Structure formats: C-alpha cells, structure tokens
Amino acid sequence: MSPLAPAPRSVDGGTPMQRDPATTVYERSEEGRRAATLPDAGVPERPLEELIPKKLLRERPAELPEISEPEIVRHYNRISRRNFDLDTGFYPLGSCTMKHNPRLNERVAALPGHARLHPAQESKRAQGALELMWLLQRSLSEICGLPHVSLQPSAGSHGELAGLLLTRAYHSDRGETRTKVLTPDTAHGTNPATVTMAGYEVVKLETNERGGIEIDDLRAKANGDTACLMLTNPNTLGLFDENISEIAKIVHEAGGTLYYDGANLNAIMGHTRPGDMGFDIVHVNLHKSFSQPHGGGGPGAGPIAVSDRIEPYLPRPQVIRREAQNGGEPRFDLDFERPKSIGRLRGFQGNFGVFVRSYAYILSLGGDGLQEASETAVLNANYLLARLGEGSAGKYTPIAFDRRCMHEFVLSGAPAKRELGVQTLDIAKRLLDYGMHPPTVYFPLLVDEALMVEPTETETRETLDAFAEAIEAILAEAAEDPGIAKGAPYTTPVRRLDEAAAARKPVVRQPRA
Amino acid sequence: MADERYPEELRYHPEHDWARVEGKEATFGITWYAQDALGEVVFYEPPEVGKQVRKDEAYSEVESVKAVSDVYAPLSGEVTEVNESLSENPEKINQDPYGEGWMVKVKLSDPSEADQLMDAAAYKKLLEDSD
Amino acid sequence: MTRYTSATDRDRREMLEAIGVTSIDELFEDIPEDLRLKGPLDLPDGKPETEVYDRLSELASRNTDAESETSFLGAGMYDHYVPAIVDAITSRSEFLTPYTPYQPEISQGGLQVMFEFQTAMSELTGLPVSNAALYEGPSAVASAAYLAIGATGRKKLVASRGVHPHSRESLISYGAGYGTELVEVPLTDGVTDATALAEAIDDETAAVFLQQPNFLGAVEDMEALGATAKQRGALVVVACDPIALSILRPPGECGADVAVGEGQPLGNRLDYGGPSFGFFCATEEHIRRMPGRIAGETTDVDGRRGFVLTLQTREQHIRREKATHNICTAQALNALGGMVHLAWLGKRGFAELGELLAQRTAYARERLSAVDGVELLHDAPVVREFAIKLEAPVGQVLDLCADEGVGAGYPLGREYSEYENGLLVAITERRSKADIDRLAEVLGRAVADLRGAQVAEGVA
C-alpha cells in the first residue's frame, strides 16, 4: 500500500466547493417561476370564499420558493455534495453503528404494497404488512432473548420513554410509588433526559476502574425507591460489564426493573442476549444494528422487547397473530384490547418503512449472518485498537480503560493536549482533511478529551489501517506544529464555524424579503 | 478574553462564584475560572429584582455553546439590582467577569455568612488542588 | 453466509495476530460463560438477495394499497402525489447515509436543508421559529405539552375532541410521566363547543389543544377559541394539517403560541403510517424551550456563510436530565422530502393545490350528501376531508365498497362513540371527479343493500 499522502495545511484561494457560496432555495427563486403543474379541479367550481368564510382564509400565500424543476434538482444536488456521507467514506462514530445501508432494502421498501398502504387500512386488507411486523417482532425477540415486542417507538429515545412509562405502569399496578432511576455516569444523554420526561429523578452510579458499574455504589443506592436501572452492555466505553448478573440480581431484589439501551447491540448479536442477562425491557435501534440509513438525523425506529411481567403494559395497539379456527391460515391483527396498556405514544403503528428495511436485512443476514456481523464488528474494533496502540497514537491518544474492548473503544486525548498542545477537537477537525469522519468526541463525559471509535463490521482492514495512519500523521504533524490542527479543517466546504454567534443571536430561518 | 486573575478584595465560593461585600450589600458574579471552563457565554437571563437568594443555592443559569451552568449565590439576601446589559451582551461575562460582567446586586440578610467564604489565596489553592 | 463484510480467513488470521489473540472467541471472553449462547439464534439462515426480494414482494402483494384501490382514507395521513424528484433527491447517498450533523464543516448540505425546511414550516404556520422536525404528528402534540408545562409550571391540559384521537391518547400516555391530566371538550355541530371550552380552562391550565381542520375535517375559528386560554395564561397549541395551511389563515396569525402537526402529506409516502415527520413551530419567546434540532446561520473563520446546529444546550446530549426533550434521532430525511415537495409546488402551486382540494371536497360532499341513506355529520366549512353518517353498519358498508375496489373512508365509531356510523372521507389531488362519482355510486349501492337489514356483526 502506498503511504498516506499528507493533507493540505492551508487554504490557497479555497477549494471549488469553498468558493461556491451557500445560497438557499429561496434566494434562487424568481417571481413567477414554478415546477409543479397541477391537474384541473374537473368539478364545478365556486369562489373559495363561498366555501370557507373569508376571515378563516389566508390573506397572502406562504412565501415558498418560486423555482423551476431543473433548478430544484440542481440546487439540492449541489448542496448534497457539501455533505460527507457513509457511502463515500469511513464514519466511525461511537455507539452510532454506521454500517453499510443496503440498497436492496430501499428497493423493497418502495414496493407499492408497502409504500402506498394507508395505516388505517382494515387489518384484513393489510395482512402482508401485519405479518411482516409480526415476523420482525419474532426476530427481535429471538435476538434480544425476551418474549414480547412492540414496534411502536420511533427512535431509541422514544423506546427509552416507553420503557420508563412501562416501568411506571408496572410499579403503579403493584400499588408502589418509586421516584428514582439509576443510570451510570457513562450513560448517553438521552437516558437522563428520558428519566425527567417520565417523571423520575436521576441517580448517578459510579464507574469502577474496569469501566463497569461500581457494585458497592449500586448496592448503596438501589432500594425501595428505585424504579429502574438503565444500562447498556457493552457500555459506552465499549466494555462488557462482567458483573451484569450480579447487577441484575441487586436491582431485582430491590424491586426495580432493568432497562437495556440497545445502542450497542451490534457487539453481541448471536453471542449473548440482554434477556439472558436479566434485562426486563430492551430497546433496539433499527437505524444502528439493523442497517436503516441514518438519513442525516433520522428516520429510525426504537422497538422494545419486554419480559412476561412487563407485557400487560405494552403500548396499544399490539400486532398479534390469531391461529385459524378451522385449519386455515393464521391471521394477523392489531390488538386494541389491552386494559393495562400505557396507551399509545404516537399515531398509527410506527415507522413501518423502517420495519420493511430491517426485516429485509435480517432475512439477508439470517441468524448466522447476524452472529458473524457482531463477530466482525468486535474483531475490527480490536484490530483498530491494536493499531492505535502503536507509535504516537499509543503515546498521545491512549486507551482510556486498558482492557479488551468489544465493538467500540474510547481513547483519551489528554496526553496530546498536555504534551503537544492539540485537543481532541483539533484532531477531529484535522481528520476531515483526510477525507474521514471523525469519531465521537467529548463523550462519554467520564473520559477526559474522549474519542469514541466504532468502526463496524462492514469496513475493510485497509480502511482501518488508513484511519490509524491518518491519526499517526496528525499527531506527528502536531508535534512539529500544533497550529496546523488548531486551524483545521482547510479543505472542507466551510471551515470552523462561529457557533457562539449562532447561539447568541439565533437566525433560524430565511428572513422575509 | 480576560487574563486569569482573582482580585484580592473579593470573597469566593467553591462553586466558582465571587462576592464583593460592601457593608450590608454585595455584588455577585462568576470567577475567571468559571467563565474559562464554560467557553464563550451566549445567553444569560438575570433573575427578577426582589427574588430571594440563598447561600449555596443556584439562582440563575449561564449558557455557553457547549454547556449550561448553574450560578450559585455565595451569600443570602434579596436581589435589588440586575445587570440588564448581559441580556444583550453576555460576552461581558467572559471579557470582564469581575467588572462589567457583574450579575446581581443583593441586600444581604446575614452579612456574617461572608466569613464562610474563601479569600483569593484560598480560592487559588482550591483551583490548584483540583487540577 | 457473509453479507456486506469483507474479512477473509487471511484477514482474520492477520488481524488476530496484530491483536495478540489466537481466536475470535477470545475477544468475547469478558462475557461470562453462563451468558454465552451455546447454539445459533433460532432464525433462518441468511438468504440471497433474489430470495429476500421475492419474500418481501410476496408480503407486499397481500396488502390493499392505494394503487390497488381508489382510496378515500385520511385521518391524518393522505394519499398525495409525491413528485418523482423527491425520490431522486432523498435517495442520494449524501442525504441518505450520513449521521446527524455533529461536524458542521462536512454537513453543510444537511444543515442547509434544515434551515430551508425551518423557513418553510415557519411560513406555513405563521410562527417565527421552527425546529428541524420531530417523529410525527401525535407525539409532536405531546412534545408541545412538555414545553407548556415547563413554560407555565402548570399541570392541566385541555383538548378539544376535534384533536386527532391518536394525539389525545398520546397526551394521556405521556401525561403519566409529565404528571399532567387531560380534560376533553366536546364538539357541537362538528366544531369545538366554545362555551364548554371556556368552562374547562382555569388558572391551572398549561395549554389548550385545538386542531385545524379538526378531526372531522371542519375548519375552526382558532382565534376565538384561543382567546379564553390567553386570558387565563395558558398556551394555545394548534395541531394543523400542513396542506390545509395553503389556504387557511395560519395559526400564528390566530394567536397560537405553538403549532405542530403531521408532515406526511408533504413529500412522504403513506408507508403504512411511517416514517414521516412532525413539525413544531413556536413564538420567539419559546425558542429556548423548543425540542429537537435547530439549524442556525453563521459564518466560518474566513467569513463564509454556513449553518450549524444551534441552541444545543437545550438538547439531551448536553443538557441531559434538564433537556427540553429526549429526542436524538428524528426524521431528517423525511423533512428533506417535505422541503423538496414544497419547493416543487412553490408559492403558487401550493395555494393552487389547496384550492383544488377545497373544490373537489365541496363537490364530493355535495354528491355524497345526495346519496340515499347518507347524511352530512356537520356542515361546517371543510378543506379536504369531511364526515358523513350512514344509515347502515359502517364496517359492512366498507367491506362491500372494498370488494368493488373503493376504500370509502375511515370509520369514526371506534374512537367517537357519539358518531357510531360515522365515516371520514378524504380527498387528495389523486382523486378525480370520476373517482368521486364512483365513490358516490359504490357507497350508495352498499348503503342501499345493507340499510335496514337486520344484519349482525360478523355474519357474512
């Protein structure tokens, strides 16, 4: 392999992308231009004010763009190129599982039988959709090791909220009032945010030197006021907590539920299951382990798998299968008769288009392929960790917890900051000049100058090597001149942006002309 | 941005707030260390005049791009004046944390509480020890 | 079967060597033995692409979609025509596959789309601030409640029964966590009972929820209804149909503090209910309480114009337990679809679409009310959906219509016991005059066949 070419260190007149100023679709508008031609009403028409009283009507139309179709296409194509994306390059964001998004899944999701099906269609005329949901439920149940699944939540956070509302309903049904939810200090921000939305108070748990839950701290804090412990395993440090069975025992003896944040499921599919670890409620991020494209910030889905004792409280409606009475085909249906249900958390049945893609992915990989995916994810992460343990990287961005990792790992850039004068932020920005997306930075909060790296299983070894080499090159460069990284990036469509100004005087829409 | 300093005439609270005590009145703000840790301040909404503040309790919040921090009252009393200009120019908290970046003026309910605060030397030591 | 991975035996060998272990199994040693799965998952083995396609195709074939029948189903999601350029743009790798724009320098495409989308939703609702989208309509309504209780410190919520049943149910479900109570206000003649609404609002009310047009398709006098709320210091939250906002006076001009809604009609397929997007707009006063991502304009070190996620200190990844919401992944790609659709319709086309719908809906209402055994549930003004009641059991009428290839509408009875044989009929630009005439004909026949007959539920 040829050595990595050094990245540009300054801006000479700017790249073509940089010279192309950001112009909004409104600024490309010209009065009178349009794209759509609509059909004629085709019915006898009356003045609008006869149909709807004038005082309820708009006085002037919404100021939408006035632009032709070719210009719309050109506009969005051009700005799309100001994005770095997974199809183009390496994207090792921790706990995001940026694995390849198969296009087969897009093709099947677009089949009219799925895509043009109305959510309120009678169940008997939506049997294909309901069966698909049921089969997906069954697959997730098997992968998680818990018997009952609801596909309703639309993202991980939504699943977390569902999990805590289920917890609340469970305790309430037993006549108990509990006010606290335990989360480790390594928890993803959505966990404590969800705790507050669900009407609970956060109690933080300490992390021990192995990166797991400090058991004595858990024993001290788990009591009759503990509603739930929210955890992910492996955790956001990429480390498997070997004490998980003990943790489950302590929480269950205290009477609380155990919630699993499925963001890191990619490490363990086919190797172990959260249900077997003792978790009562698990959410799965279909846009992580199950290949739903991230879309620049969604859509995703956050289905939940629960144990028998939590099942009565599942959201309404549930997709069920009814055995045929007289030897015919089983029928699938939406079950609304759920007297103890927490109710619904959104309209209709959930992000069905995401279910189609995830189910296609599960069919494509199969049980064997899912197991292999996790295996390769863990292999890739450990390999990359080994490569980054060498040379300057090992010295200036060492591993935060010196243990074998699973599918991701966390480095600390504290030595680089101290000795070279470059922060994790600067390393990340300089990586952009190497055509790679940086890892997650400054999370988990526990680690100083954190870099959280998750390569995923769909990356080749050469890509991992190239990343390690880029980090080496950046650190070597910083040893000579830290100013270069501090001024990076140089080659991206824009360079470092003034976020303080954006927050001080927010401009969140195009001003009216 | 301002240079790091901790004026001798002020009293300091471990949550990185300062008080300038003048008889039964005091002015509060946050220290150089606090504004440095926050980064560029983007938003500060002062509390209302008349609000009761209690020593060691948060009485408002200060927001930067990457964090929101509670602002703690070093002493107890009633807010008599607030620095309205911080709504328009919150960056004063970074530029001049002990001068134009002052946050509230308070009529003290118990001036003797000031004895529990640190002097500049003790506060500087606290910062060194935690590094 | 390997899929999408590339590690060969040789790769594995060399990588294991670099790691310093002899087998992949060693990498899983931290998992206690008693928790390791002893056998494979009880799932079928992986299948080649052609078989996966066939399987998914087979499942799709057992759904009666809007291509297989002439559909008048609405109730919040509608069979609009999504222009081809939406598919082309939303399937581009650069929009489809990146993550949330945490590194703005290489996410200007996505951030600019958010900015443009926020502008469009602000224009539609008449409120100055919009976020970059939430999951969908009913949960956006519940998110508005979270803002309201934070802003007012109060715990009571009042909602008209004209608000979508799924939204009201969501308010109750989320309310278990918020500690709120929901009071519902009845409809009279198809619109919110103004007197009952005024009586329900008190000094403990955090927010009043209205829908425009309401669930029965009726256009409500938002300004008048919201007045009492404002007097009592409660927030006015209007859930609105974005397409109807093409011709209706926007909530921002009627005193709304927050406007939310289901974005599916803009650039998104039906997809059996999702993914779509929810929009969330508010007055300037509430900007720091807004949920979700917000893109803001700024400049870079060289003075170039650019966009960033702003006011992030509201969000979960920074504010954690004090965040304005727990949302992380939202529906960015669907919001892009909405934006492209709106750009394609354009200022004039959007208004024309609204007028087209109003005309065809008026025609449909006239034709159906003339059918024997069919009566209007209300005669309030409508835009694109209206409610009728049948002199025959709705479920069986729908079956007969379906047999003739017509999805006649959404039965109201399950969620509105007061409208037992009610039916909600929705019109989109895909339903021509001929389709409407066919509906009248088929519905008429079905009602005539079943009218008066003593037919028990479930008997063929």
In a domain, B129, yes or no: no
| DSSP 8-state class, residue B66 | S
| DSSP 8-state class, residue A403 | S
Residues in C 111-170 with any Cβ partner in A closer than 8 A: 112-113, 115-116, 118-120, 122-124, 128-130, 132-133, 135-139, 142, 146, 164, 166-167, 169-170
CA angle B83, B121, B62 (to 5 degrees): 30
Residue C324 with chain B: CB contacts under 8 Å: none
Is A503 within 8 Å of B65 when comparing Cβ atoms? Answer: yes
Q: How far apart are CA C273 and CA A356, in angstroms?
A: 12
pLDDT in tens, C125-171: 999 999 999 999 999 999 999 999 999 999 999 999 999 999 999 99
Across residues A111-128, what is the average pLDDT? Answer: 98
| Domain boundary residue, one of C307, C340, C373 | C340
pLDDT in tens, A352-378: 999 999 999 999 999 999 999 999 999
What is the model's pLDDT at position A418? 95
Residues A348 and A484 in one domain: no
In a domain, C51, yes or no: no
In a domain, A248, yes or no: yes
In a domain, A194, yes or no: yes
| DSSP 8-state class, residue A420 | I
Q: How far apart are CA A283 and CA A299, in angstroms?
A: 16
Across residues A505-513, what is the average pLDDT? Answer: 92
What are the residues facing C316 on neighbouring strands?
none
* Cβ-contact C276, C248 below 8 angstroms: no
**Is the peptide bond prior to A489 cis by the omega test (within 30 degrees of 0)?**
yes
Q: State in Å, rounded, how far the first CA of chain C is from the last one.
A: 48
Q: How far apart are CA A235 and CA A185, in angstroms?
A: 11
Residues C178 and C242 in one domain: yes
Structural domain including A226 reads: 146-361
Chain pair B-C, CB pairs under 8 angstroms: 14
The CA–CA distances, whole Å, from A322 to A134, A326, A333, C75 equal 11, 12, 7, 27
| Domain boundary residue, one of C340, C362, C382 | C340
pLDDT in tens, C105-136: 999 999 999 999 999 999 999 999 999 999 99
Residues A343 and A357 in one domain: yes
In a domain, C14, yes or no: no
Residues C131 and C151 in one domain: yes
pLDDT at C326 over 70: yes
In a domain, B93, yes or no: yes
What are the residues facing A366 on neighbouring strands?
C45
Residue B43 with chain C: CB contacts under 8 Å: 288
In a domain, B41, yes or no: yes
Q: Is C317 on the interface with B (CB under 8 A)?
A: no
In a domain, A15, yes or no: no
Judge residue C189's burial from the number of C-beta atoms within 10 Å of its C-beta, 0-12 exposed, 13-18 middle, 19 or more buried. Answer: exposed
Is A504 within 8 Å of B63 when comparing Cβ atoms? Answer: no
What is the model's pLDDT at position C460? 44
Strand, helix or coil at A130? helix
Is B67 within 8 Å of C288 when comparing Cβ atoms? Answer: no
Residues C136 and C265 in one domain: yes
Query: Best interface-test mutation with C: which of B68, B69, B70, B87 has the largest number of C CBs within 10 A?
Result: B68
Nearest CA distance, A217 vs chain C (angstrom): 20
A402 contacts: CB under 8 Å, gap ≥ 6: none
Mean pLDDT of chain A: 95
Residues A293 and A423 in one domain: no
Residues C429 and C297 in one domain: no
CA A86 and chain centroid, separation: 14
Chain pair A-C, CB pairs under 8 angstroms: 728
Residue for token pair 């709807």 = A52
In a domain, B69, yes or no: yes
What is the model's pLDDT at position C459? 45
Q: Which parts of A64-126 fold into alpha helices (H)?
A: 69-80, 103-109, 112-115
Higher pLDDT, residue A212 or A7: A212
What is the model's pLDDT at position C454? 46
Across residues A405-414, what is the average pLDDT? Answer: 97
Smallest Cβ distance to A492: which of C106, C166, C344? C106
Q: How far apart are CA B94 and CA B90, in angstroms?
A: 8
The CATH code of the domain that includes B38 is 2.40.50.100
In a domain, A133, yes or no: no
- Strand runs labelled E in A273-361: 281-283, 304-306, 318-322, 331-335
Query: Best interface-test mutation with A: which of C328, C365, C396, C424 has the largest number of A CBs within 10 A?
Result: C328
Helix (H) or strand (E) run with residue A129 in it: helix A127-144
Helix pair A352-388, A127-144: axis angle to 10 deg: 30
Q: How far apart are CA C124 and CA C212, in angstroms?
A: 13
Q: Is C316 on the interface with B (CB under 8 A)?
A: no
Question: What is the count of structural domains for chain B?
Answer: 1
| DSSP 8-state class, residue B54 | -
Long-range contacts of A483-488 (CB under 8 A, 24+ apart): A484/A9, A484/A430, A485/A422, A485/A426, A485/A427, A485/A429, A485/A430, A486/A421, A486/A422, A486/A426, A487/A10, A487/C301, A488/A426, A488/A429, A488/A430, A488/A432, A488/A433
Is A193 within 8 Å of C325 when comparing Cβ atoms? Answer: yes
Q: What is the dihedral of CA C325, A294, A165, A242, to 10 degrees?
A: -110
pLDDT in tens, C275-296: 999 999 999 999 999 999 999 9
Residues C262 and C398 in one domain: no
The CATH code of the domain that includes C395 is 3.90.1150.10
* Cβ-contact C287, C250 below 8 angstroms: no
In a domain, B50, yes or no: yes
**Nearest CA among A374, A312, A300 for reference residue A337:** A312
| Domain boundary residue, one of C340, C366, C392 | C340
Q: Provide the total of helices (H) and of strands (E) in chain B, helices listed first.
A: 4, 9
What is the model's pLDDT at position A326? 81
DSSP one-letter string for C300-330: BTTS-EEEEE--GGGSHHHHGGG-S----S-
User: Which of A12-21, B90-99, B121-130 bottoms out in mean pLDDT, i.e. has the lowest?
Assistant: A12-21
Q: How confident is the model at residue C318 (pLDDT cuts 50, 70, 90)?
A: confident
In a domain, B131, yes or no: no
Q: How far apart are CA A369 and CA A202, in angstroms?
A: 38
Smallest Cβ distance to A371: which of C40, C92, C95? C40
Q: How far apart are CA C114 and CA C293, in angstroms?
A: 9
Higher pLDDT, residue A66 or B38: A66
Strand, helix or coil at C180? coil
In a domain, C27, yes or no: no
Closest alpha carbon within chain C to B66: C313
Q: Provide the total of helices (H) and of strands (E) in chain A, helices listed first.
A: 18, 12
Residues A443 and A348 in one domain: no
**Nearest CA among C264, C172, C163 for reference residue C211:** C163
Neighbours of chain B (3+ CB pairs under 8 A): A, C
Q: How far apart are CA B36 and CA A162, in angstroms?
A: 39
In a domain, B128, yes or no: no
Is B65 within 8 Å of C313 when comparing Cβ atoms? Answer: yes
Phi, psi of C227, deg, nearest 5: -60, -45
Strand, helix or coil at A210? coil
Residue C288 with chain B: CB contacts under 8 Å: 43
**Nearest CA among A69, A115, A347, A298 for reference residue C334:** A298
The strand order across the sheet containing A148-150 reads A148-150, A304-306, A281-283, A257-261, A226-231, A180-184, A201-205
Tokens representing A466?
A: 């190239």
The 10 Å CB-count burial string (b at 16+, else e) for B37-57 is ebebbbbbebbeeebebebee
**Nearest CA among A390, A438, A440, A398 for reference residue A415:** A398
CA B88 and chain centroid, separation: 18
Higher pLDDT, residue A12 or A40: A40
Across residues A378-396, what is the average pLDDT? Answer: 96
Tokens representing B26?
A: 């005091």
pLDDT in tens, B1-35: 678 999 999 999 999 999 999 999 999 999 999 99
Nearest CA distance, C369 vs chain A (angstrom): 16
In a domain, C410, yes or no: yes
Percent helix, strand, coil in chain C, to 5, is 45, 15, 40
| Domain boundary residue, one of A361, A376, A397 | A361
* Cβ-contact C159, C168 below 8 angstroms: yes
The CA–CA distances, whole Å, from A103 to A5, A109, A291, A296, C116 equal 32, 10, 10, 17, 28
Nearest CA distance, A426 vs chain B (angstrom): 16
Residues C407 and C333 in one domain: no
Residues C259 and C128 in one domain: yes
The CATH code of the domain that includes C245 is 3.40.640.10
In a domain, C37, yes or no: no
Neighbours of chain A (3+ CB pairs under 8 A): B, C
What is the model's pLDDT at position A513? 74
pLDDT at C1 over 70: no
The CATH code of the domain that includes A179 is 3.40.640.10
What is the model's pLDDT at position A2? 52
Residue B1 with chain A: CB contacts under 8 Å: none
Q: Is C18 on the interface with A (CB under 8 A)?
A: yes
What is the model's pLDDT at position A15? 84
Nearest CA distance, A284 vs chain B (angstrom): 29
Query: Best interface-test mutation with B: which of C313, C319, C321, C322 has the largest number of B CBs within 10 A?
Result: C313
Across residues C35-43, what is the average pLDDT? Answer: 96
Residues A327 and A200 in one domain: yes
Residues A297 and A150 in one domain: yes
Residues A264 and A325 in one domain: yes
Residues C406 and C331 in one domain: no
**Nearest CA among C144, C289, C291, C162 for reference residue C221:** C162
Q: How far apart are CA C85 and CA C82, in angstroms?
A: 8
pLDDT at C378 over 80: yes
Residues A399 and A341 in one domain: no
Q: How far apart are CA A450 and CA A186, in angstroms?
A: 12
Structural domain including C377 reads: 71-79+353-450
Residue A509 with chain C: CB contacts under 8 Å: 115, 118-119, 122, 128-130
* Cβ-contact A484, A406 below 8 angstroms: no
* Cβ-contact B27, B52 below 8 angstroms: no
Residues A329 and A258 in one domain: yes
DSSP one-letter string for A216-258: HHHHHH-STTEEEEEE-SS-TTS---TTHHHHHHHHHHTT-EE
pLDDT at A1 over 50: no
Q: Is C50 on the interface with A (CB under 8 A)?
A: no
Judge residue B120's burial from the number of C-beta atoms within 10 Å of its C-beta, 0-12 exposed, 13-18 middle, 19 or more buried. Answer: middle
Parallel/antiparallel/unpaired status of strands A450-453 and A440-441? antiparallel
Q: How confident is the model at residue B67 (pLDDT cuts 50, 70, 90)?
A: confident
Smallest Cβ distance to C177: which of A119, A197, A300? A197
The CATH code of the domain that includes A372 is 3.90.1150.10
Structural domain including B87 reads: 11-110
Nearest CA distance, B92 vs chain A (angstrom): 13
| Domain boundary residue, one of A361, A394, A419 | A361
Nearest CA distance, A480 vs chain C (angstrom): 23
In a domain, C176, yes or no: yes
Question: What is the count of structural domains for chain C?
Answer: 2
Closest alpha carbon within chain A to B64: A500
Closest alpha carbon within chain C to B68: C313
What are the residues facing C388 on neighbouring strands?
C376, C423
Residues C168 and C284 in one domain: yes
Q: How far apart are CA C387 and CA C243, in angstroms?
A: 18
**Is the peptide bond prior to C275 cis by the omega test (within 30 degrees of 0)?**
yes
pLDDT in tens, C216-270: 999 999 999 999 999 999 999 999 999 999 999 999 999 999 999 999 999 999 9
pLDDT at A512 over 90: no
* Cβ-contact B16, B123 below 8 angstroms: no
Residues A471 and A347 in one domain: no
Residues C313 and C363 in one domain: no
What is the model's pLDDT at position C2? 58
In a domain, B5, yes or no: no
Q: How far apart are CA C58 and CA C67, in angstroms?
A: 16
Q: How far apart are CA A381 and CA A386, in angstroms?
A: 9
**Nearest CA among C123, C189, C196 for reference residue C160:** C196
Residues A276 and A346 in one domain: yes
Residues A349 and A412 in one domain: no
Residues in B lying within 8 Å of C, measured between beta carbons? 43, 63-68
What is the model's pLDDT at position A329? 85
In a domain, A333, yes or no: yes
Is C318 within 8 Å of B67 when comparing Cβ atoms? Answer: yes
Smallest Cβ distance to C63: which of A128, A195, A489? A128
Q: How far apart are CA B18 and CA B34, in angstroms?
A: 10
Question: What is the count of structural domains for chain A?
Answer: 3
What is the model's pLDDT at position A7? 84
Q: Is C55 on the interface with A (CB under 8 A)?
A: yes
Is B43 within 8 Å of A500 when comparing Cβ atoms? Answer: no
pLDDT at C24 over 50: yes
